[in-house]
Structure 1
Amino acid sequence: MNQPKIISSPDGKLIHTSAGAIIEKDGKYLLLDRAKPPWGFACASGHIDEGEDPETALKREVKEETGLTVTDYKLVWEEYVDWDWCSRGVTGHHSYIYQVATSGKVKGNSESKSISWYTKEEMKKIKLERMWVYWFGKLGII
């Protein structure tokens, strides 16, 4: 496991950085049901490792978690939140959220119990991981 990049928050706390990929196709969003904390359904996402930039981490996380290759991306939100608990020892993250186009065939890995496409209405009925409830709300998706 690589070491996540650690930076200082505006209030001086040590925090991690992360990148997340919103992958939408034909009105459905690709979500993983996480097999480890933080629990719930989420888009492909994860820590930016030491020495990586957000875009490199984005491409790596999408490939690792979905088997897909990123072909295009657009930053749609960037924000620091101080309430995002992390299993790796911090309580805040500076996150970069991207709208992503991909190619390839979807395949899961051991980090998720399942991976599938969900409509906005279906997303309202499943237990989303709390950061993705927040991001989807900020972006007007749900």
Structure 2
Amino acid sequence: MKLDVDVPADGRRHQYCWGCRAETVAPHHGAAGFTCATCGREYGRSLVVDPALDWWTDPSGEYWHRTAGVFVRRADGRYLFFERVFFPLEWTVPAGHIDTGEDPAHAASRELREEVGLSAPPSDLVPLDVTDIPGDSCWRGSDAHRWHPYLLNVPLETTAEVLEEGRDPRWLTPSEALSRPLTFPVRTLLERHATTTLT
């Protein structure tokens, strides 16, 4: 998505309606999505421009975010996945946006703790290839993300509880995960690494 609003240079967060681009959206109460007070429509996402997040536009005007994610591998070769309850409503791994100035490994460690309650220092995370994924849509309005994926090996007895943005954590093999409706970037990364690093 091209960034098609004139964002004020005030250093503040701005959130626009996905349809009419009015800055009059509010989250649904008790459900995922947003309602616009100007056009009256409801959308699963909005357009958020936030100086606290690492974002940019490329020469074509495409709006990009940076994301860090962790493939958590248990000693039996199964990985931690969970179902998102916010856009996009598909299966994913612990992941999230990187803050402005934040080291990607620290962001991955933070997201791991915030989303599934697992603590791991950045030094325990094994970096995979940094990957640009056009077509990766998030609820904040970007359709292109630069992913910083990591691998974390954990003991067989490790358990996880989804704390934010999801439900139903499952330990799955790569082939089991690929049979589910995965988010576009997680499917892309899993297919890329399933026969090499993620085995």
Q: TM-score under structure 1 normalisation?
A: 0.87
Q: Which 4+ stretches in 1 moved above 6 angstroms?
A: none
Pair 82,120 (structure 1): closer, same or farther in 2 beyond 3 Å = closer
Answer 1 or 2: higher relative contact order, Cα 8 Å, separation at least 6.
1
- Structure 2 letter corresponding to 1:5: D
**Aligned partners of 1:93 and 1:110: how far apart in 2?**
20
> Which has the larger strand fraction?
1
- Structure 2 letter corresponding to 1:7: W
Cα RMSD after superposing both structures: 2.4
- Structure 1 letter corresponding to 2:72: I
**Aligned partners of 1:8 and 1:16: how far apart in 2?**
9
Pick one of 70, 74, 93 that aligns with 1:21: 70
Greater CA radius of gyration, 1 or 2?
2
Equivalent in the alignment of 2:56: 7
Tell me the number of residue pairs that the alignment of Structure 1 and Structure 2 aligns.
Answer: 142
Deviation at 1:51, TM superposition (A): 2.6
How big is each residue's C-alpha offset from its partner over 1:83-117, in whole Å with a ceiling of 9 and x where there is no partner? 21222122211111111135864121141121121
Pair 52,136 (structure 1): closer, same or farther in 2 beyond 3 Å = same
**Aligned partners of 1:53 and 1:12: how far apart in 2?**
25
Say yes or no: does 1:86 pair with 2:114.
no
Indicate if the aligned counterparts of 1:69 and 1:102 stay in contact, CA closer than 8 A. no
**Aligned partners of 1:67 and 1:23: how far apart in 2?**
12
**Aligned partners of 1:13 and 1:124: how far apart in 2?**
29
The percent of aligned pairs where both chains have the same amino acid is 27
How big is each residue's C-alpha offset from its partner over 1:64-86, in whole Å with a ceiling of 9 and x where there is no partner? 11100114011112111222122
Q: TM-score under structure 2 normalisation?
A: 0.64
Say which is worse superposed, 17-26 or 102-111, in terms of deviation: 102-111
- 1:1-142 aligned at under 5 Å gives the runs 3-9=52-58, 13-25=62-74, 26-71=76-121, 72-102=124-154, 105-141=159-195
